[in-house]
């Protein structure tokens, strides 16, 4: 139950090491923004440094030339430019009722494509020789995100969760949706109740897909004994595994599943 996380951290390259410093040297769980950067540098990480590359600047300039499209704005005007943005004139913020919300049905959400060209999440779980389990997730976040956005990467139970008594889980995909369901916490608790990793992973993904049938995401699950599996929705997902007896990693491919929940 030890944990550390950083979010919206700039000017420091090694986010996962910064998160570990939070875990090792503070009583906090999550540090964010400029102060997270200052903390990481004060604890010995290199910085401040410019993290932009020629490739990232080229992508940003192309996005600006395309009127900042696509982006993650909704219910704003203008909808097809770089702003400044204002709430739509038709938005009625005085209406506090929930009558317009579809609580029981599915939600069709406009999402940006998630693929190898704009996706960089790395999640890794380790079981050591005495049985301790650890997991960490690191990401640059969603391409074209609104400044200040925090995704599921640093959210406990969403992109990663581990328990020595059970195992570990890592996740990737549409973090703004996935964090609403804490899929990795769900996986670990399902495994705690006796589900095998494959069924636990599929169940967690199905819970999301039922509400958001067009979401894109995946999880992997590994038990404390090394049994592992993955599940995904909206794309084909790959994860790799290595044990001491192997000379190299083995890559496993997981195909998308339908949104049918498993009942324990």
pLDDT tens, position by position, 14-72: 999 999 999 999 999 999 999 999 999 999 999 999 999 999 999 999 999 999 999 99
Q: Report how many helices (DSSP H) and strands (DSSP E) the chain contains, helices first.
A: 6, 12
Q: Tell me the pLDDT band of 166, cut-offs 50, 70 and 90.
A: very high
CATH of the domain at 214: 3.60.20.30
Kindly report, residue by residue over 92-147, the tens digit of the pLDDT.
555 555 545 555 566 666 655 555 555 679 999 999 999 999 999 999 888 889 99
Preceding omega of 75 cis (within 30 degrees of 0): no
52 in a structural domain: no
Shared-domain flag, residues 245 and 126: yes
pTM score above 0.85:
yes
> Are residues 130 and 248 located together in one domain of the fold?
yes
The active-site residue, picked from 26, 107, 121, 139, is: 121
Q: Tell which residue, 148, 145, 125, 119, has the closest CA to residue 137.
A: 125
Structural domain includes residue 84? no
Q: Is residue 115 part of a domain?
A: no
Residues 36 and 152 in one domain: no
**How many domains would you assign to the chain?**
2
Domain residues for 136? 122-254
Residue 261 lies in a domain: no
Residues 137 and 246 in one domain: yes
> Is residue 61 included in any domain, yes or no?
no
Residue 30, in any domain of the structure: yes
Clarify whether residues 126 and 38 are in a common domain: no
Q: How many CB atoms lie within 10 A of CB 34?
A: 12
Angstrom distances, CA of residue 62 to CA of 68, 69, 102, 111, 245: 9, 10, 37, 19, 47
In a domain, residue 188? The reply is yes
Does 117 map to a domain?
A: no
34 and 134 share one domain: no
Shared domain for 249 and 136, answered yes or no, is: yes
137 is catalytic: no
Tokens 């059970």: give the residue.
Answer: 166
| Residues 147 and 35 occupy one common structural domain | no
Q: Where are the alpha helices (DSSP H) in the chain?
A: 15-25, 33-42, 54-65, 175-178, 183-192, 197-211
């Amino acid at each position: 139950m030890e944990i550390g996380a950083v979010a919206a951290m700039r000017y420091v390259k090694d986010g996962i090491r910064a998160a570990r410093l939070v875990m090792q040297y503070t009583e906090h769980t999550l540090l964010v923004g400029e102060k997270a950067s200052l903390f990481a540098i004060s604890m010995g990480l290199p910085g401040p440094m410019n993290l932009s590359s020629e490739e990232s600047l080229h992508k940003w300039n192309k996005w600006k030339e395309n009127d900042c499209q696509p982006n993650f704005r909704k219910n704003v005007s203008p909808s097809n430019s770089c702003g400044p943005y204002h709430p739509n004139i038709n938005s009625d913020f005085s209406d506090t009722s929930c009558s317009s919300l579809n609580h029981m049905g599915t939600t069709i959400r406009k999402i940006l494509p998630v693929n190898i060209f704009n996706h960089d999440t790395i999640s890794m779980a380790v079981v050591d020789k005495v049985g301790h389990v650890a997991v960490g997730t690191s990401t640059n976040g969603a391409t074209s995100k609104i400044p200040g956005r925090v995704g599921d990467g640093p959210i406990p139970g969403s992109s990663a969760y581990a328990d020595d008594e059970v195992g570990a889980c890592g996740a990737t995909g549409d973090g703004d949706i996935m964090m609403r369901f804490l899929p990795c916490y769900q996986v670990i608790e399902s495994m705690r109740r006796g589900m095998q990793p494959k069924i636990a992973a599929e169940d967690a993904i199905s819970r999301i897909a039922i509400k958001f049938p067009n979401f894109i995401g995946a999880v992997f699950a590994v038990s404390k004994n090394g049994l592992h599996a993955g599940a995904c929705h909206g794309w084909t997902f790959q994860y790799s595994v290595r044990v001491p007896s192997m000379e190299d990693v083995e890559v496993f491919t997981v195909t998308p599943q339908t949104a049918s929940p498993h009942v324990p």
